Amino acid sequence: MNSKQYQLAIVIPCWNVEKYIPSMLESLVAQSFKDWKALCVDDGSTDLTAKIITTYQQKDDRFQYIRRDREPKGSQTCRNIGIDAAIGAKYLIFLDADDIIAPYCFEQRVNYLDKHPNDDYAVFRAKSFRNSLFETDSDMYGFPFVDNALMAMLNWNLTMLAVTNIYRYQSLVDNNVHWDERLSSLQDSDFNIQVLAKKLKYSFAERTRVDYFYLITNNGIANKIKTKAHYESHLYLLNKTLTTVSQSTQANDVVLQNNILLFYNLIKQDKESVKKILRLQWLRERKINYLKMWLYILWGGRGKKYLFPKERNFSREMNQKWRQATEKNIVEFLEMAKNDDDIIKLDASLKP
């Protein structure tokens, strides 16, 4: 892609999404904001994904099909390729190929950052769904429910996702923000934690409409994170997070110890992986934490309320606040959406 200036780059990693990608690409065409380029980075699809994208590209030169040309395979590599290809963009948004966005998404996000020139990025609300945008048994993302977003992310309360955000492109470049290509899962969480740890300036766009809808599928990566194939990735990410965040004043030892406990629950079925937790430099530098973690592992993950009472209370309180705030946001969305023609039409488009 040449370096001609334009307002908004859209980076979409794609892999065997022929069932979903037409809806996403149609939602781009329907945007009220027109100055964008969609960088669709194919991760080596074997279905009709490439053909569908190139068909759109032939009709509209704002679409660009890019095939991943280097290792490793994965959405994080595709997103990095997209960042590198977005030269000339003022802003950047990451999208997932199997999701869908409201027709006002780009306009409200670009307008918001235009009006907040000191922000490196801004956070907007998103709602998950399976069959209908009006489902009540779903999650909401992209809203503040505690003062310290980093603490929430370390407790895996997803106050933001990469797809909920619009980034100032030069801010990503200047701060060397990229996706970690060593990770097999939890890439989104890592990306946001790294951005928060680097202290990029941001704000929540609280008085805006929900503009992103996150599809929940049965074959998503979330169903694989407890499998053995992901254990090494989890240990690498845990060590990386402890190393990065412990240098920040935004999180204390209780929060970081709690993060270790969360990762322990992912890998506790594998004895060798569990042993590696005790080799973490962060733990070895804190003898009391190390001893308590050793006992916790020895007891098979029992006795948390005695060994880690502060961590247990922190996690429970954070989870409760997140759930209450999520339910409140869902109620507000449903009340608003029932009279929102854009949402009603978007929901109708999902029906076969």
Mean pLDDT (the chain) is 95
Query: With pLDDT > 70 as the criterion, what percentage of the chain qualifies?
Result: 97
* Domain assignment of residue 265, yes or no: no
* Domain assignment of residue 348, yes or no: no
* Domain assignment of residue 276, yes or no: no
Whole-angstrom distance, CA of residue 309 vs CA of residue 326:
26
Q: What is the mean pLDDT of residues 320-327?
A: 97
Query: Which residue range(s) make up the domain with 142?
Result: 6-220
* Domain assignment of residue 284, yes or no: no
* Domain assignment of residue 19, yes or no: yes
* Domain assignment of residue 334, yes or no: no
Residue 247, exposed/middle/buried by CB under 10 A (0-12, 13-18, 19+)? exposed
Whole-angstrom distance, CA of residue 344 vs CA of residue 201:
34
Q: What is the mean pLDDT of residues 151-160?
A: 96
| Predicted pLDDT of residue 217 | 87
Residue 29 vs residue 251, higher pLDDT: 29
Q: Is a pLDDT exceeding 50 seen at residue 106?
A: yes
| Predicted pLDDT of residue 99 | 97
| Predicted pLDDT of residue 1 | 43
Q: What is the mean pLDDT of residues 179-189?
A: 96
Q: What is the mean pLDDT of residues 44-69?
A: 98
Q: Is a pLDDT exceeding 60 seen at residue 72?
A: yes
- What's the CATH number where 134 sits? 3.90.550.10
Q: What is the mean pLDDT of residues 128-146?
A: 96
Q: Is a pLDDT exceeding 60 seen at residue 136?
A: yes
| Predicted pLDDT of residue 223 | 65
**Domain count along the chain:** 1
Q: Is a pLDDT exceeding 70 seen at residue 220?
A: no
**Residue recorded with tokens 């996690």:** 315
**Residue recorded with tokens 């490793």:** 72
Q: What is the mean pLDDT of residues 181-197?
A: 95
| Torsion-angle region of 139 (φ positive above 0: left; ψ -120 to 50: alpha; else: beta) | beta
| Predicted pLDDT of residue 84 | 97
DSSP one-letter string for 24-54:
HHHHHHT-S---EEEEEEE---SSSHHHHHH
Q: What is the pLDDT of residues 259-311, one digit of tens each?
A: 999 999 999 999 999 999 999 999 999 999 999 999 999 999 999 999 999 99
* Domain assignment of residue 212, yes or no: yes
Whole-angstrom distance, CA of residue 28 vs CA of residue 194:
28
Read off the pLDDT band of 351 (50, 70, 90): confident
* Domain assignment of residue 216, yes or no: yes
Read off the pLDDT band of 114 (50, 70, 90): very high
Which residues fall within 8 angstroms of residue 50, CB to CB, at 6 or more apart? 42, 65, 67
pTM score, whole prediction? 0.95
